[in-house]
Amino acid sequence: MDLRRDVFQAIADPTRRAILLLVATQSMTAGAIASQFDSKRPTISKHLLILTECELLKREPIGREMYYHLNPNKMKEIANFIAPFQKLWDDRFNKLESVMKDYIRKS
């Protein structure tokens, strides 16, 4: 299995998550994205390749520039996968809150 095409492996990297946040609101060129980081341009290009291969980003040529933008459908797949865990976590935190309130009352 090529880990570069695995969405969860891709979003495990903090730089790639930061790139996703950058392009979430507007399409950007590789140069504009790279200018936001201290890393060298080839490093950012590799991150963009990984995000594109796993379809979190889409590339769109506009004139002579290649713009990257977020693929909302792929992000929705991630959200759908995580949703059941969110309920589980919420239930556990609610139980913990109840236990802590009882503990404070007894103290």
Q: Model confidence over 13-68: pLDDT tens digits?
A: 999 999 999 999 999 999 999 999 999 999 999 999 999 999 999 999 999 999 99
Q: Is residue 95 very low, low, confident or very high in pLDDT (cuts 50, 70, 90)?
A: confident
Q: Is residue 3 very low, low, confident or very high in pLDDT (cuts 50, 70, 90)?
A: very low
Instruction: Tell me the three-class secondary structure of the chain, residue by residue.
Output: CCHHHCHHHHHCCHHHHHHHHHHCCCCEEHHHHHCCCCCCHHHHHHHHHHHHHCCCEEEEEECCEEEEEECHHHHHHHHHHHHHHHHHHHHHHHHHHHHHHHHHHHC
Q: Is residue 1 very low, low, confident or very high in pLDDT (cuts 50, 70, 90)?
A: very low
Mean pLDDT, residues 75-84? 89
